[in-house]
């Protein structure tokens, strides 16, 4: 499944108040995917299974650094847009839409690719791991296409 399709479904869900309609949209999304397990966790706001001890091991500072690298916006601008939009994801979408430089090789992201990237970030350890995590996240942001 293309990640943009997943993101659009999630955006649609944000505007729905009816439980029946939410159920309909989620069931349609789950029918249309081969990545059922991953999509289900992502919908619930989780990356890894509840029983897993895996975590990304990244704080807000590293997240903002990755957004800076992917968008060219400085941290002050990022924080300002986060305050305005109320959500880091929506702020990142806005900043990515305004970026001047586009990545040379950006195919369409899939849910599977995003998950595999998160797995790699979680598994990075040892000397230089924070730098590797930062690079992987920045590459992920750089590959994402805003609507």
CATH architecture of 60-143: Orthogonal Bundle (1.10)
What is the per-residue pLDDT for 102? 56
Residue boundaries of the structural domains of the chain: 3-43, 60-143
- Whether the per-residue pLDDT at 45 is higher than 80: the answer is yes
- Whether the per-residue pLDDT at 20 is higher than 60: the answer is yes
- The set of residues, in sequence order, having a beta carbon less than 8 Å from that of 7 and lying 6+ positions away, is none
78-123: per-residue pLDDT in tens?
Answer: 999 999 998 888 888 888 877 655 554 557 889 999 999 999 999 9
Give one DSSP letter per residue of 11-30, joined into a string: HHHHT---HHHHHHHHHHHH
What is the per-residue pLDDT for 112? 93
């Amino acid at each position: 499944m293309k990640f943009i399709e997943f993101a659009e479904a999630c955006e649609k869900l944000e505007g729905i108040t009816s439980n029946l309609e939410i159920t309909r949209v989620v069931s349609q999304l789950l029918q249309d995917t081969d990545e059922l397990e991953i999509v289900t966790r992502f919908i619930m706001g989780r990356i890894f299974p509840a029983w897993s001890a895996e975590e990304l091991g990244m704080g807000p500072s590293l997240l903002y650094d990755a957004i800076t690298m992917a968008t060219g916006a400085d941290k002050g601008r990022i924080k300002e847009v986060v305050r305005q939009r109320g959500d880091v994801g929506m702020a990142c979408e806005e900043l990515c839409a305004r970026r001047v430089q586009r990545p040379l090789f950006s195919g369409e992201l899939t849910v599977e690719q995003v998950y595999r990237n998160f797995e790699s970030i979680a598994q990075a350890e040892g000397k230089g791991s924070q730098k590797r995590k930062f690079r992987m996240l920045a590459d992920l942001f750089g590959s994402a296409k805003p609507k």
